[in-house]
A = this chain, B = another copy of it.
């Protein structure tokens, strides 16, 4: 594989930092540019309030942060870690200028011609890129990854949906503070507390999941015909979103089948052995008190990229089941997902 020069839009925030951390020693991608309005003009290592225990990778530390304009970057493609409102204004400029934009922002996720991708779940939605380019007359394009809670939910629903006709999903999340960025949640708000509200999160889960699980038809994605209801909570946990999922199907649901399809679930990234693809996208635990965020958020051979599932059990009737899942919100739920999308695009010669 050739080596790609990569830019990180909004590289000083928590997601931007996670991109830089995960791309350290990446076999395909080299970070060559970092943008940031508040930090531009300074060396990255001096501008950033680095949040991790590992040091800033040396090749990035000395990069001078630039403005988020296409002309100031000499790269093959960009990852966007911009806040959503900024992303809405900025990302199109890059796509117009011929650059692929792989975005973690929510700004364009639900636009009809923008792919919202989990590489194991709906790689065929990447066909929307051609639709988008034609429609918007762009040389580049925008591809998005889903909201942090949505990724893990959609990954787990996918193999179940391939075996059973899911009608309704009721999900309650317990989401880590790192999901709110930095400074994010004040400690005075969350110590000895839970906040049963995350702005916009429930809507994102309820809508994005349907698009991801939908079918690509000719020039658009037909959304899955599932109803989802989400209740989201912020909890005093550093990393890892835990979700209790109650699923109702049209027919009887066999638990053993469900467990089997979860464990067997694999997708294109595993087939192509992409560098950031975990060998098991879904890890099934049998202990009745797992998954737990601190113990399981880094499970698997690519830490943070597997969703961990436990407590698969019958619901109120034979048509329903319940399970608990855990996804690492800043890896599979953000930067890791975007990197896996980029690897997939690279393998398709689309970067």
Contact = CB atoms under 8 A, between A and B. Distances in A.
A235 to B, nearest CB: 6
Nearest to A303: B53
Interface of A: 14, 51-53, 168, 170, 172, 174, 177-178, 182-197, 227-229, 231, 233, 235-238, 242, 244, 246, 288-299, 310-311, 315-317, 322, 324
Contacts of A298: 53
A170 B246 CA distance: 8
Contacts of A184: 186-188
Contacts of A197: 288-289, 311
7 smallest CB-CB distances across A and B, nearest first, come from A197-B289, A183-B186, A172-B172, A193-B294, A187-B187, A227-B316, A231-B244
Contact of A194 (B183, B196, B229, B237): B237
19 contacts: A52-B295, A168-B316, A170-B170, A170-B315, A172-B172, A178-B188, A183-B186, A185-B186, A186-B186, A187-B189, A192-B192, A193-B237, A195-B289, A196-B244, A196-B311, A197-B288, A229-B246, A229-B315, A231-B324
Contacts of A236: 187, 191-192, 235-237
A195 B244 CA distance: 12
Contact of A237 (B51, B183, B192): B192
A21 to B, nearest CB: 13
Given A53-B297, A184-B186, 10 more contacts: A172-B172, A182-B186, A193-B237, A194-B235, A196-B289, A196-B291, A197-B288, A229-B316, A233-B244, A235-B235
A53 B233 contact: no
A192 B194 contact: no
Contacts of A297: 53
Interface centre among A196, A288, A324 (most CB of B within 10 A): A196
